[in-house]
């Protein structure tokens, strides 16, 4: 009798395990199917464009909620550190070169020259606030752009939005159709050099992103950005970059995951 009960219990256990395995396989197939749908197939992938917008909306909403205590702390720190507004608004170029106001936490004093990239300023430290230096180093000054993402002006991943007067960068991006996608909080160029890159290389990398845009590319950019922020790679402050751009054009060190589109420069 006991042996029969043990056999029945064993059979029941095996059926439960088998049922769980079947459900796991079924859900795994569903997951793989969804991932396959959003794999890279170029910037004209309408299906991924819709999924990408949904991901942007969900993640930006969650970020605003989860990071709200950090926002409060940073707002207080900025207000106590120096005179001026909490947020810095600047004209940037969005998808199809449509202008919009990008948001950042203010890191500079109110007498700083407007519409000039920080790395082109001479001695930018004289304009930087105390809390601003920390925000720049940690990239926390970019957090307010979560709002730009939420309302659809930006995406989490994409080419960084150019200043309205960066005509050379905008024109160079046009060659690679990089102006045809939403600008991002971070992107392919940012994990391949960031401020160290001359304009024509940055534009080419943005074009590569457009060609290969998809779930795998976006996940790669996202996690490598976190790694680069921790390692502090590719960030240049001051006019050194401006003076060295021409020299770097011919001697820039290309990383292993950089894949040239063509050899014409």
Torsion of CA 114, 118, 122, 128, to 10 degrees: 90
- In the chain, pLDDT over 90 holds for what percent of residues? 52
Among the residue ranges 8-12, 107-111, 120-124, 139-143, the one predicted with the least confidence is: 8-12
Query: Which pLDDT belongs to residue 45?
Result: 67
- Summarize pLDDT for 49-92 with one digit per residue, the tens: 899 999 999 999 999 999 999 999 999 999 999 999 999 999 99
Burial class (CB in 10 A: 0-12, 13-18, 19+), 155: buried
pLDDT score at 205: 94
pLDDT of residue 262: 42
* Tens-place pLDDT, residues 189-216: 989 886 678 899 999 999 999 999 999 9
Provide the pLDDT for residue 178. 94
Average pLDDT over residues 143-168: 95
Rounded distance, CA 161 to CA 164, Å?
Answer: 9
Average pLDDT over residues 215-220: 92
For residue 164, pLDDT over 50 is answered with yes
Whole-number pLDDT of residue 113: 78
Alpha carbon distance 140, 143 (integer Å): 5
Tokens of 45: 């992938």
Alpha helices in 167-261 (DSSP H): 167-175, 199-212, 215-231, 240-251
Q: Which pLDDT score, from 0 to 100, does residue 181 have?
A: 94
Which stretch of 2-16, 45-59, 96-110 has the lowest confidence by average pLDDT?
Answer: 2-16
In three-state secondary structure terms, 47 is helix
Beta-bridge partners for 102: 90
- The answer to whether 37 touches 47, Cβ cutoff 8 Å, is yes
Q: Do 140 and 132 contact (CB within 8 A), yes or no?
A: no
Look up the pTM and report it: 0.70
According to DSSP, the β-strands at 155-157 and 184-186 are: parallel
* Distance (Å, whole) CA 49 – CA 211: 13
């Amino acid at each position: 009798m006991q042996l029969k009960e043990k056999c029945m219990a064993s059979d029941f256990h095996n059926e439960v395990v088998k049922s769980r395995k079947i459900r796991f396989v079924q859900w795994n197939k569903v997951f793989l199917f969804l991932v396959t749908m959003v794999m890279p197939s170029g910037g004209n992938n309408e299906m991924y464009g819709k999924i990408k917008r949904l991901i942007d909306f969900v993640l930006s909403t969650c970020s605003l909620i989860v990071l709200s205590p950090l926002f409060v702390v940073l707002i207080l720190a900025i207000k106590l550190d120096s005179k001026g507004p909490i947020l810095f608004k600047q004209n940037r170029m969005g998808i199809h070169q449509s202008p919009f106001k990008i948001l950042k936490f203010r890191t500079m004093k109110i007498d700083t020259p407007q519409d000039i990239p920080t790395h082109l300023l001479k001695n930018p430290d004289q304009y930087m606030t105390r809390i601003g230096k920390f925000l720049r180093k940690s990239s926390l000054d970019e957090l307010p752009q979560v709002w730009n993402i939420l309302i659809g002006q930006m995406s989490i991943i994409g080419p960084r939005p150019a200043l309205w007067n960066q005509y050379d960068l905008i024109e160079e991006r046009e060659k690679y159709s990089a102006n045809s996608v939403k600008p991002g909080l971070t992107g392919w160029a940012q994990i391949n050099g960031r401020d160290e890159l001359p304009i024509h290389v940055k534009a080419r990398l943005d074009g590569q992103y457009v060609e290969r845009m998809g779930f795998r590319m976006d996940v790669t950019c996202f996690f490598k950005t976190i790694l680069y922020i921790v390692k502090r790679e590719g960030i240049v402050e001051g006019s050194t970059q401006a003076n060295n751009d021409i020299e770097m054009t011919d001697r820039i060190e290309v990383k292993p995951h950089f894949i040239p589109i063509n050899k014409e420069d």
